[in-house]
Structure 1
């Protein structure tokens, strides 16, 4: 058994902007189920403080002349202890965890997450006298990237693991910010935090962590290439022996159509006809014609270029000419929100666009849709295609990252071998997307073949148990690497 401090800037159900929150909300629970001693470290955002109960102070200190208190609480619906970094000046504000209400990054993000990282380091080095010192510091994405960098030079330190959920977000700030944060001068070098004249938080994890992993095997290979490496592919090639890919799992107590409280009708592999009741309920709820004949295509996504919004919009006239209905839920760049809303206004019987985040509706879309649209240009892992498979909703994806590791195309060969569970878009283009949609619509009309695809999808095992075991193996490798480095 290892003592693990899981350091994350968000965790479901307390605070969520994307897949990191889902992972942080479920992986520690799975690790605890395998008898690891896990604690989560999370900023005390207002949304978090509104949900936790009986948070008690553990320690306090001053960081950058700001008062900070470490609180202890319990993750709702979980036995995992959660430690909250309470710094009102940094985290107690309206808006999101990273951006203000206008969609702009907080001007002091570097300071906010430097405080967060320094508290993590003080826990790691037992400076806060908590009577608990981790064996493993498990950081996630740029917001925790300074932790391995600041721990690296200490003799009596935990092993460090750093997970990349999306390399596109790197935490880049100017040199003056590096000086203002009073970080060790030795970190300002090519083999440190310096990145083309800027400070890169994520490089702290990529350069200094004992072990690095991504959230799917294919993405671990993709980021070694310039196309997906965002300027860090050379560094990652240099550290390739320390880099692995572990596929994310899903919390199958939350994402389970047989028990999901958000659904009109619950169902499983043996009662798939009840899925149609969810389709009808979703159509009625969203003022779409209630009709089982056209396939209903769902999409739940951040509205950003990565998610394939450009090719969807370019293909939209031809998509809406198909005998389909399309439901899109999400928020993101205003240009995508406005264009999609305009298409929905012009085609109210074919397309519904809901701007925002709505957890119950997310479940209802997964259950009520026949197909799930996810033509990402790149996708480190992806979780919605896993939810879709669990719900018998066949994903339409690009052959990248975790999508390539989880979705098997419904071509004749794969169908005959009972391997197919979705549809793969061959190229990142409107024409290829449209061709795949036409193929899916045609197959949807073949009831027996479609039912077999659904059963294959639903029988896949994407629970956290197997992935959590791989993380335990990774922790042991990190401990061994740390011990070698200390000799």
Structure 2
């Protein structure tokens, strides 16, 4: 296999080109970390209408080439850009096909199945056009889950891909990409039919992209060790837990990291003041700026709790809604929230802002500069999620010395450990039961601890000293790539014997 691996990463979104969620952060940062380890990593994604050629310096690297689609062919063009990194830039290829991608948005179109099937097929055929033969194709979420299926079927005896292994990463099992039989024809898989599983009846009559990725991939992983265990249960398995249990011998958890080139309080250009473990003065200035931004009382002694989140029950806002007035009545805490979501939460917070002016600030938007100010200017960061496969918010808040208050689920359980004042261990405040009083008790415990300034500063320094950069996670992925290659070779030997 050699020391250097050739890895193709396929994703529907990648920072800084297109982003709707944490998937884009992962697929923008992981390639840089793999490049730093010496591997030849390249990325492919669609060129959506919002990705301007001139802005990102995209250059054509192929003439239009044919891509098989639904018993016919349609042309694609391959453009190349760069993901900048201090360890060397990473090539990123854009699949250009105006009919499918020249639109205002990224998702939620009636032909999404066709759009992402075409992207995946065009990416594979594009590598053939370039003559760059990947050892491993690393697929992310349902949009690219068809690729492991193809490598075991229509590309199985293709000399260009017959030795290529697949790794499939589940970022959120709830979004599976479910379509009808017609999609098999579009994908060229009609002859192979549905997946049949005795304990998952729906797989017998729908095309579940994520299910197919799990079924066919050489290695499967999700984005934290705890979530990898949780999805084996009916409570968290989203109907696919029997299939995941069948393949648990090749299911792993690899915690996401944070891109420390971007999220660094010492150098962050979006902050009103920078700071470090050696000099925390700038953090106080960030808090003052955050209070001013949201029209809060500018009180340094008032504990300021921040949240950047989708406003939904899934993210625990039903718990927050149940206790928020009690928090304001019984503590001096302030709360700032940035995000959009369910209308009932928009209405609730709009009403509460009038009643608790100077204590509550809400911005119904996702804005990178404002989010960064919340991470830096808050004293605490709340994530009471019902489920959280990994979570990046708590990792960023730790980096910025903002103490997380979380429910012990998924990646939150793996990265935030409850503060124990007796042993001076832990880096945050944790509760287990999905219950509003459990959240309330934990918030009160954090607010009371904040009164002890030396203890709180020690907690901040502990948080900032944790290493959640991508290097360790990238090494884990390299191990999974090697495992996938071994598995692929073993299957080929068995087929030949």
Alignment correspondent of 2:391: 382
Alignment correspondent of 1:222: 230
Alignment correspondent of 2:206: 198
Counterparts of 1:195 and 1:87 in 2: how far apart (Å)?
31
Matched, 1:274 2:304: no
> For structure 1, which runs of at least 5 residues remain unmatched after alignment?
99-104
Q: Superposition pairs for residues 422-461 of structure 1, below 5 Å? A: 422-461=428-467
Matched, 1:69 2:101: no
Query: How has the CA–CA distance of structure 1 residues 279 and 196 changed in structure 2, closer, same or farther, with 3 Å as cutoff?
Result: farther
Residue 194 of structure 1 deviates from its aligned partner by 6.2
Deviations 1:123-144 (A, max 9, x none): 4xx5x32121100000000011
Query: Which of 41, 52, 57 is residue 56 of structure 2 equivalent to?
Result: 52
Secondary structure of 2:61's counterpart equals: strand
Counterparts of 1:353 and 1:226 in 2: how far apart (Å)?
36
Matched, 1:36 2:39: yes
Alignment correspondent of 1:212: 220
Query: How has the CA–CA distance of structure 1 residues 298 and 336 changed in structure 2, closer, same or farther, with 3 Å as cutoff?
Result: same
Alignment correspondent of 1:102: none
Q: Is the 8 A contact 1:10 1:20 kept in 2?
A: yes
Residue 62 of structure 1 deviates from its aligned partner by 4.2
Q: Superposition pairs for residues 408-487 of structure 1, below 5 Å? A: 408-410=417-419, 414-487=420-493
Q: Is the 8 A contact 2:194 2:206 kept in 1?
A: no
Deviates more, 1:57-66 or 1:10-19: 57-66
Counterparts of 1:172 and 1:223 in 2: how far apart (Å)?
18
Deviations 1:459-486 (A, max 9, x none): 1111111111111111100000000011
Q: Is the 8 A contact 2:427 2:462 kept in 1?
A: yes
Q: Is the 8 A contact 2:194 2:203 kept in 1?
A: no
Counterparts of 2:59 and 2:168 in 1: how far apart (Å)?
28
Q: Is the 8 A contact 1:187 1:194 kept in 2?
A: no
Deviates more, 1:220-229 or 1:48-57: 48-57
Q: Is the 8 A contact 1:193 1:201 kept in 2?
A: no
Deviations 1:277-336 (A, max 9, x none): 100011112221111111111101122322111111122221332311111111233333
Deviations 1:81-129 (A, max 9, x none): 000011112111113x11xxxxxx2111111111112123334xx5x32
Query: Which of 98, 113, 121 is residue 88 of structure 1 equivalent to?
Result: 98
Matched, 1:2 2:5: yes
Counterparts of 2:358 and 2:175 in 1: how far apart (Å)?
37
Query: How has the CA–CA distance of structure 1 residues 347 and 90 changed in structure 2, closer, same or farther, with 3 Å as cutoff?
Result: farther
Query: How has the CA–CA distance of structure 1 residues 193 and 63 changed in structure 2, closer, same or farther, with 3 Å as cutoff?
Result: farther
Query: How has the CA–CA distance of structure 1 residues 244 and 270 changed in structure 2, closer, same or farther, with 3 Å as cutoff?
Result: same
Query: Which of 319, 327, 330 is residue 327 of structure 2 equivalent to?
Result: 319
Q: Is the 8 A contact 1:68 1:85 kept in 2?
A: yes
Alignment correspondent of 1:146: 146
Counterparts of 1:180 and 1:244 in 2: how far apart (Å)?
31
Counterparts of 2:206 and 2:357 in 1: how far apart (Å)?
47
Residue 388 of structure 1 deviates from its aligned partner by 0.6
> For structure 2, which runs of at least 5 residues remain unmatched after alignment?
none
Counterparts of 1:415 and 1:35 in 2: how far apart (Å)?
43
Counterparts of 1:236 and 1:316 in 2: how far apart (Å)?
38
Query: Which of 267, 273, 276 is residue 259 of structure 1 equivalent to?
Result: 267
Counterparts of 1:344 and 1:151 in 2: how far apart (Å)?
54
Alignment correspondent of 1:397: 406
Secondary structure of 1:89's counterpart equals: helix
Alignment correspondent of 1:302: 310
Query: How has the CA–CA distance of structure 1 residues 319 and 195 changed in structure 2, closer, same or farther, with 3 Å as cutoff?
Result: farther
Matched, 1:336 2:345: yes
Q: Is the 8 A contact 2:294 2:362 kept in 1?
A: no
Counterparts of 1:58 and 1:83 in 2: how far apart (Å)?
11
So what's the TM-score if we normalise by structure 1? 0.93
Query: Which of 162, 172, 175 is residue 169 of structure 1 equivalent to?
Result: 175
Alignment correspondent of 1:371: 380
Query: How has the CA–CA distance of structure 1 residues 67 and 303 changed in structure 2, closer, same or farther, with 3 Å as cutoff?
Result: farther
How many residue pairs end up in the alignment?
474
Residue 179 of structure 1 deviates from its aligned partner by 4.1
Residue 196 of structure 1 deviates from its aligned partner by 5.7
Q: Calculate the aligned-residue CA RMSD, in Å.
A: 1.9
Residue 76 of structure 1 deviates from its aligned partner by 4.7
Counterparts of 2:347 and 2:139 in 1: how far apart (Å)?
36
